[in-house]
Structure 1
Amino acid sequence: MTHAPQNIVELPRRMKHLAVDRRGYPVIATVDRGPHEVDFGSISERRKLALAAFDWCAVCGLLFGDELRWQMVFQEGPLPSAVISGEAPVHEVCALYAAQVCPYLFSPRSRLGDEARKGMVRDAVVRFAGFESTHAVFAHESGLQPGVYTLHFEHRGQADEFSYREASEIRERFVEVLAREQELPVSDWENVLVRLFNRLDDGGEGDVVTGAALAAGAAFAKDIFKLQGLKAFQGKSYPTVAGLLLKGTEQEIREFSAASQDEAFSAVGPWVLERAGSFPVPLQRWRSRGQDMVSRSQPQLPDGPGRSVARNASCPCGSGRKARRCHPAGILAD
């Protein structure tokens, strides 16, 4: 497969924090990764869930703020009022960069390399649309594969678009957008989550930022634990922790975060407190659903290691890490 010469396409400032693979390509936020290999042909549903909960771009992994959410669309002519896609949205500058570097996007002669789509080529014309809001995110069962659920994004308020056959046609637009690129305001707590999310290896103990997204309120989304890749999170205490971050007092949330030795769980509580009243719309919808699912008297977190949980078992706080590493002294029950 032919690759665009990545070194002649300027990297947007907001992508410079991304890790790179052995060839020097930035590892975008939505793909599976490991310490020795990155699968650019994959789309991780676990990582998409974190993107949806924290309102992050699927390329650079940073927040949208007031910028449009861009999505590749396949319809011709006017788009409906609501557009649903199985891919997470991106910033315009990230979409334009990817269109010039991604082997699939930059040339109409590009072929899809996976076995399921072997021999298929890219559409002659690629169309991107920019939307004002991500209205909802939900787990959707595949019509072709019963029992297989993937995350879908509903966007509304189309405000702009661009299309191209050859990547050279959007070069001028990219230069203009790059010139007016703005710094994205990232708080200290969100910066911790972004840093952890960008790692190529999290120690092999699960996606800790996905766990933090569940704790922030994604655990209340309908059918969320049926998503591909979330089986490892089932049967744990994420709904309980999410309930604490939903209805707990500020002191309870801060005490829980301070007690956790997992960085993602230590950061997500303060993040919830600082974003109160301004949550991303999909996350706010999930948290509103949780209001009817969580009793007013929040159940206590389970006892920690040294009591009912073995040190090498998953920590009952729901972080996804082993109890001996997350809460070595246990979680005190009242």
Structure 2
Amino acid sequence: MPAPVDARPRDGRGYPVPAITPWEGDQPQFALTDYERSANCARQRLCSVCDTLMPRGPVWRVVGAGESEAIGGALAAGRAYRNLAPTLEGPGHRACMLYASMVCPYLARPNARRGLDARQPDDMTEHVVRGAVRGAMGAVVGFADYEFAVTATQVLFRFLDVVEFLPHDTADAHLDELRAELAGRGGGTQPR
């Protein structure tokens, strides 16, 4: 576990709670995103998992099957990839996203299903429904940078220039990468 994640507040079971996770009383709502927390992370260049500063340079995020397939296809064809459609998921450190890909049940396994619906479904979140399956291949992806917009109701992100692509069927495939990253031997700047 990355040290900044280890320092995060914990739920009643002892699990660290990501920076953008909303709370209802003393219960974190793991499958949801808090607007104010997400906006703060975007504006201050804070990791959406650990809430600490991300230095200038690459940022990472975990993507599901559809985006993983699109990125992998573009890279295999020698084409650049840029997500023109915005997403609600913010960026983070390489180690934090590798870790998140393994410990979040929905991100870690292809047959995992969402436990909750989006609170107020709209065009961006209509797919966030209880029981939705992640799908075949996910990935941890590094991008040269990100753009964001804070609207009245959402924080929207777009990511620029893939610098690393780490696909996975099950995210435990990233365990060696995470160990290397935590030991200070992580790469994270070249497409793979």
TM-score (norm 2): 0.76
Structure 1: which amino acid aligns with 2:41?
Answer: L
2:87 alignment partner, one of 85, 88, 93? 85
Structure 1: which amino acid aligns with 2:51?
Answer: G
Pairs within 5 Å for 1:137-148: 137-139=148-150
State the superposition RMSD in angstroms.
Answer: 2.2
Match of 2:61 in 1: 71
Pairs within 5 Å for 1:60-139: 60-73=50-63, 74=67, 75-76=69-70, 77-78=73-74, 79-81=80-82, 83=84, 84-115=86-117, 117-134=129-146, 136-139=147-150
Pick the structure with more strand per residue.
2
1:26 alignment partner, one of 16, 19, 43? 16
CA offset at residue 159 of structure 1?
1.1
Aligned partner of residue 154 in structure 1, secondary structure: strand
Query: Structure 1: how far apart are the matches of 2:36 and 2:46?
Result: 13
Moved over 6 A (4+): none
Residues 82 and 41 of structure 1, relative CA distance in 2, 3 Å threshold: closer
TM-score (norm 1): 0.46
Q: Which has the higher contact order (CA 8 A, sep 6+)?
A: 2
Contact 1:81 1:156 in 2 (8 A): yes
Pick the structure with more helix per residue.
1
CA offset at residue 85 of structure 1?
2.1
Contact 2:62 2:101 in 1 (8 A): no
CA offset at residue 164 of structure 1?
0.2
Contact 2:98 2:140 in 1 (8 A): no
Query: Structure 2: how far apart are the matches of 1:130 and 1:17?
Result: 24
Instruction: Count the aligned residue pairs.
Output: 164
Query: Structure 2: how far apart are the matches of 1:161 and 1:20?
Result: 30
Residues 181 and 42 of structure 1, relative CA distance in 2, 3 Å threshold: farther
Residues 133 and 18 of structure 1, relative CA distance in 2, 3 Å threshold: same
Residue 31 of structure 2 corresponds to residue 36 of structure 1:
no
CA offset at residue 149 of structure 1?
3.5
Query: Structure 1: how far apart are the matches of 2:35 and 2:23?
Result: 13
Residues 114 and 81 of structure 1, relative CA distance in 2, 3 Å threshold: closer
Contact 1:131 1:157 in 2 (8 A): yes
Match of 1:17 in 2: 7
2:153 alignment partner, one of 128, 149, 171? 149
Q: Deviations over 1:258-288 (max 9, x none)?
A: xxxxxxxxxxxxxxxxxxxxxxxxxxxxxxx
Q: Deviations over 1:29-88 (max 9, x none)?
A: 011025521111111111111001110000001111135211234152225345532211
Q: Deviations over 1:272-317 (max 9, x none)?
A: xxxxxxxxxxxxxxxxxxxxxxxxxxxxxxxxxxxxxxxxxxxxxx
Pairs within 5 Å for 1:299-318: none
Give the unaligned 5+ runs of structure 1: 1-10, 141-147, 183-334
Query: Structure 2: how far apart are the matches of 1:119 and 1:82?
Result: 26
Percentage of matched positions with identical amino acids: 26
CA offset at residue 26 of structure 1?
0.4
Structure 1: which amino acid aligns with 2:52?
Answer: L
Pairs within 5 Å for 1:133-282: 133-134=145-146, 136-139=147-150, 149-180=153-184
Query: Structure 2: how far apart are the matches of 1:17 and 1:35?
Result: 20
Contact 1:69 1:133 in 2 (8 A): yes
Query: Structure 2: how far apart are the matches of 1:21 and 1:114?
Result: 17
Aligned partner of residue 154 in structure 2, secondary structure: strand
Residue 49 of structure 2 corresponds to residue 59 of structure 1:
yes
